[in-house]
């Protein structure tokens, strides 16, 4: 009891104290009850105090871990949602690009013009049905080859020069190309330009070549016919003028002989009358 009394006295002196009661480290707090000699003593063993603190620390740690877990879970779910939305948008973009490519492929395959695309080294990336028909080879066997595999060296060099001109000048260029094809020598009206990727970087060239052989032949034939007609007209007009001059000479000789004029040249009389009227004026 003496130990308890001393423990109480220290509590009253400092309002808190630690001691070892019964060999057990303890801590306590004492409060005097008003108007009495009684004391309210609260004692807690150090082991109990540590156990309570440990429980509190454990709950705090678990609560912190749970909060971190919830925050991490929320972050992961948010990232997954954003990723899913991005994938959906990318999927929509891919579908739109796929439809555009399918439409472009359908247009290219139905075109009667040769449509093609090449990389920067001049190797074919696209070769439509019409182009394959001109070279007499399946389009699949042309992909990856350059013009030297399809045309004579001089023609291939000219084709590639036109390709490079469009790339270097960064504009559409138009030229006429005479090429030996599976259908004979043909004249093509070629429109070419640089090919860009989605970032605006030049990755090659594209072109559309129209076979204008028959149209050119028709134009040349029409030109020749017009020239022939012009020569005929000049020859006809010249003969008419010679004939009129000859008739005038016969009429003049007839008048000198006192005979009537055998040829009626009314425009001559009209010209003489106009000349006479001019003189009277």
pTM of the predicted structure, to 2 decimals: 0.52
CA angle 106, 110, 113 (to 5 degrees): 120
| Correct CATH for 111-210 of 3.10.20.30, 3.30.450.20, 1.10.540.10, 3.40.710.10 | 3.30.450.20
How far apart, in whole angstroms, are the C-alpha atoms of residue 233 and residue 220? Answer: 20
Read off the tokens for 133: 């028909």
- Rounded to a whole number of angstroms, the CA Rg of the chain reads 55
CA angle 267, 273, 274 (to 5 degrees): 90
Per-residue pLDDT of the chain (281 residues; tens, 9 = 90+): 444 455 455 544 444 444 444 555 656 666 677 777 676 666 666 666 666 667 777 778 888 888 887 888 877 778 887 777 777 777 676 777 667 667 777 888 889 999 999 999 999 999 999 999 999 999 999 999 999 999 999 999 999 999 999 999 999 999 999 999 999 999 999 999 999 988 899 999 999 999 999 988 888 887 888 888 787 777 777 777 778 888 888 888 888 778 888 888 765 554 454 444 344 33
How far apart, in whole angstroms, are the C-alpha atoms of residue 91 and residue 198? Answer: 17
How far apart, in whole angstroms, are the C-alpha atoms of residue 146 and residue 111? Answer: 22
Q: How far is CA 203 from the centre of its chain?
A: 11
- The stretches of 153-212 forming alpha helices (DSSP H) are 153-169
At 27 the pLDDT is: 62
End-to-end alpha carbon distance in the chain: 170
Read off the tokens for 124: 């074919």
Read off the tokens for 273: 């009358």
- The torsion of the CA quartet 190, 193, 196, 202, rounded to 10 degrees, works out to 120
How far apart, in whole angstroms, are the C-alpha atoms of residue 164 and residue 144? Answer: 18
In degrees and rounded to multiples of 5, residue 111 shows phi and psi of -75, 145
**How would DSSP label each residue in 58-97?**
HHHHHHHHHHHHHHHHHHHHHHHHHHHHHHHHHHHHHHHH
In degrees and rounded to multiples of 5, residue 131 shows phi and psi of -65, -40
Computed from CA positions of residues 146, 152, 157, 159, in that sequence, does the dihedral angle turn out positive or negative? negative
């Amino acid at each position: 009891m003496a130990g308890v009394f001393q423990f109480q006295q220290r509590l009253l002196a400092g309002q808190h104290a630690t001691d070892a009661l019964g060999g057990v480290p303890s801590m306590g707090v004492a409060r005097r009850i008003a108007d009495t000699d009684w004391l309210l003593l609260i004692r807690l063993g150090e082991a109990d105090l540590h156990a309570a603190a440990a429980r509190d620390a454990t709950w705090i740690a678990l609560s912190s871990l749970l909060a971190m877990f919830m925050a991490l879970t929320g972050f992961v779910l948010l990232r997954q949602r954003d990723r899913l939305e991005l994938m959906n948008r990318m999927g929509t973009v891919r579908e739109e690009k796929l439809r555009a490519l399918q439409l472009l492929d359908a247009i290219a395959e139905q075109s009667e013009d040769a449509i093609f695309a090449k990389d920067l080294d001049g190797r074919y990336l696209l070769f439509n049905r019409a182009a394959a028909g001109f070279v007499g080879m399946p389009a699949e066997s042309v992909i990856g080859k350059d013009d030297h595999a399809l045309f004579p060296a001089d023609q291939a060099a000219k084709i590639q020069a036109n390709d490079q001109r469009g790339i270097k000048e960064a504009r559409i260029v138009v030229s006429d190309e005479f090429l030996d094809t599976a259908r004979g020598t043909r004249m093509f009206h070629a429109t070419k330009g640089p090919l860009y990727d989605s970032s605006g970087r030049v990755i090659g060239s594209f072109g559309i070549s129209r076979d204008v052989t028959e149209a050119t032949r028709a134009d040349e034939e029409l030109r020749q016919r017009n020239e022939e007609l012009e020569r005929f007209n000049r020859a006809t007009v010249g003969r008419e003028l010679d004939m009129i001059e000859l008739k005038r000479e016969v009429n003049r000789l007839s008048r000198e002989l006192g005979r009537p004029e055998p040829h009626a040249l009314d425009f001559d009389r009209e010209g003489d009358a106009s000349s006479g009227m001019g003189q009277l004026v």
